[in-house]
Amino acid sequence: MSGKGAPELTVSNCGDLRVAVIAALWHEKVMDGLVDGALGALRELGIDEPTLIRVPGSFELPVAAKVLADRGYDAVVALGVVIRGGTPHFDYVCQGVTQGLTQVSIDTGVPVGFGVLTCDTEAQALDRAGLEASRESKGHEAATAAVATAATLRALAEP
């Protein structure tokens, strides 16, 4: 790609970005895959020392994202797994985290990568977790998207 609004995503233009990864603690195996995927993506982009913090559950991701965005991080990557149970709790957590993270990114202008899996079954989550048998790696995807957006916004702000 070329042009001011669409910079190449290379190590030379994003390796210095300050990135924080926030990861919920529920569903350990899936979360391990998401975190590894996100950290791997950041390494590939030359971001070797991101901040990694853990929060109890996905519902706590937005408040942590807000605090980190306010502290000057250029991008935040939010990782969590919510799996449907037998009550409406799933819907409330999914709604809270989705709206919360969207609000944080819009209010602060800091890109928040959405690496929160909302699945009916654990098998669906494992398939997206970036583990050896997974077909997709949503942690990698979310980290790449957040950094790409931060690099693009920085390029747009340059005189």
Q: How buried is 114 (Cβ within 10 angstroms: 0-12 exposed, 13-18 middle, 19+ buried)?
A: buried
Q: What is the DSSP letter of 133?
A: T
Select the span of 64-72, 82-90, 98-106, 120-128 touching ligand DLZ (CB under 6 A). 82-90
CB 52 within 8 A of CB 35: yes
Q: Which of 71, 73, 19 is nearest to 46 (CA)?
A: 19
Q: Pick the catalytic residue: 63, 89, 91, 106?
A: 89
Select the span of 14-22, 39-47, 69-77, 80-88 touching ligand DLZ (CB under 6 A). 80-88
Per the structure block, which two tokens stand in for 69?
Answer: 């965005």
Size of the site for ligand DLZ (CB under 6 A): 14
Select the span of 4-12, 62-70, 74-82, 142-150 touching ligand DLZ (CB under 6 A). 74-82
Q: What is the DSSP letter of 123?
A: H
* 118 is an interface residue for ligand DLZ by CB under 6 A: no
Give the E-state strand segments of 2-96 in sequence order: 19-24, 51-55, 75-83
Among 52, 83, 153, 155, binds ligand DLZ (CB under 6 A): 83
Judged by beta carbon, residue 138 or residue 152, the one nearer ligand DLZ is 138
* 35 is an interface residue for ligand DLZ by CB under 6 A: no
89 is catalytic: yes
Give the E-state strand segments of 71-156 in sequence order: 75-83, 112-119
Shortest distance, CB of residue 56 to ligand DLZ, whole angstroms?
Answer: 4
Which position has the token pair 């996100």? 38
Among 1, 4, 49, 56, binds ligand DLZ (CB under 6 A): 56
Annotated catalytic sites, by residue? 89
